[in-house]
Amino acid sequence: MFQQFTGKEYLKIDIAGSFGYDKQDWDDRIGWFDQNEHQLHALVPQAEEPALFYAGVLAWEKAKEGKASGYPISLDATCSGIQILACLAGDRRAAEITNVVDTGHRRDAYVSIYQDMVNELGETAKIDRKQTKLAIMTHFYNSAAIPKQIFGEGQLLGLFHDKVNENAPGANEITNTMLAIWDPTALVNEWVLPDNFHVHIKVMGSVTEAVQFLNEPFDITYNVNMPIKGGRSLGANMVHSIDGMVVREMQRRCHYDPAKIEQLTKLLNAGAAGRNTHRPQDKLVMALLDHYRASGFLSARILELLDLENLGHIPHALVRNLIASLPEKPFEVISVHDCFRCLPNYGNDLRRQYNNLLAEIAESNLLGFIVSQMVGKPIQINKLDPHLAHDIRNTNYALS
């Protein structure tokens, strides 16, 4: 069940998070705040994020006086890269350890895999938690060097890969697939996302030349646009591109134009059926619809473009469903990568929008849509669990 909180409760959660309790359950954070409210100013030097902690305390004091502070709370995605991979693959195990589906508590993917390794090794375990986190993070961005550097090339590395695969089999399979489809002849990797954002990444290889300077030989290494064998950047770039789309969609869906939505609703009720194709915005509507048909993901960008002249191109039920998914009132969002900030009264809406986006990715064929562009032929990829979306929409800690 999706837990909802008041604006004041979100302030409590935020202050506890800035102190260092951001990985605890909601109720534990609120409980910590209530126990320490009398000494918040004295705790500032001990906080993990002292500036944010102090700002939150000042906002709390204003809130108690009934005054607006303008202070935005912060809610972070929990391992956004693995969250996205879990949704793309329909990977329930990865979804559980990254809070994409609810398990009753706030989970930490890095701790889950680390603890599984420790449990296997028993008292002989000599692995560092922070180093293990680095190995997991870089593994899912297709790094082989960092895990080897941390665990060596023997039994410990094998155990690491086993536990990663046990905890996130679908996400791990995508990671391996991105290595397998690398094109050693390509000068560029490119694909289009459902919101018509065009990804264009040059393939860069290192070249070393010997030069003479003051009669001494020096090797100069620099990067050039050239084909390379065994490239490992495709997976990371794909995940980062979807991460960016999620940020853009959060902005569109949370901070929509209410006048535009009201106008669209009136046009839908009137049965508007214009099918203009000549204006630039009409062409973009057609492109977004093509991306939707291929990917199963409809970008909220289309709401900005629809009007009397082109509303006939899209099934009205699609537009109504998209409008119905928006928050009741628009609100501003500040995003820094996968950290989202908004005024405390909108915390519930912020979390619901993020959950809904993850659910829409899980329902879509987004992975097949992107991979098809990478390999140059249609690819349909089945999900391990095609029924994740309902659970995702009710999860508690995807943003926490």
Residue 215, pLDDT score = 86
What is the pLDDT, as a whole number, of residue 164?
A: 97
Q: What is the mean pLDDT of residues 323-348?
A: 98
Mean residue pLDDT across the chain: 97
> Is the Cβ–Cβ distance between 296 and 363 less than 8 Å?
yes
Percent of the chain residues topping a pLDDT of 70: 100
Give mean pLDDT, residues 296-306: 99
- The helix (H) or strand (E) run that includes residue 12 is helix 7-16
Q: How confident is the model at residue 56 (pLDDT cuts 50, 70, 90)?
A: very high
pLDDT for 63 equals: 97
Q: How far apart are CA 109 and CA 251, in angstroms?
A: 27
What was the pLDDT predicted at 126?
78
All structural domains of the chain, each given as residue ranges with its CATH number in brackets, are: 7-71 (1.10.287), 258-330 (no CATH)
pLDDT score recorded for residue 122: 83
pLDDT in tens, 232-248: 999 999 999 999 999 99
- Binning the chain into helix, strand and coil, the percentages to the nearest 5 are 55, 10, 30
- Which pair of tokens denotes residue 67? 């005054």
For 114-118, 344-348, 373-377, which range has the lowest pLDDT when averaged over its residues?
Answer: 114-118
- For 109-152, the pLDDT digits (tens) are 999 999 999 999 886 777 888 999 999 999 999 999 999 999 99
Q: How far is C-alpha 321 from the chain's CA centre?
A: 23
pLDDT in tens, 259-275: 999 999 999 999 999 99
Dig out the tokens for 387 from the structure. Answer: 């029924």
State the average pLDDT over residues 94-119.
Answer: 96
Local confidence band at 93 (pLDDT 50, 70, 90 cut-offs): very high
80-90 residue pLDDT tens: 999 999 999 99
Q: Could you tell me what percent of the chain has a pLDDT over 90?
A: 94
Q: What DSSP assignment string belongs to 306-368?
A: --TTTGGGS-HHHHHHHHHTS-SS----EEETTEEEE-GGGHHHHHHHHHHHHHHHHHS-HHH
Report the SS3 class of residue 225.
strand
State the DSSP code for 102: -
CA nearest to 98, candidates 87, 114, 82: 82
pLDDT 10s digits, 175-213: 999 999 999 999 999 999 999 999 999 999 999 999 988
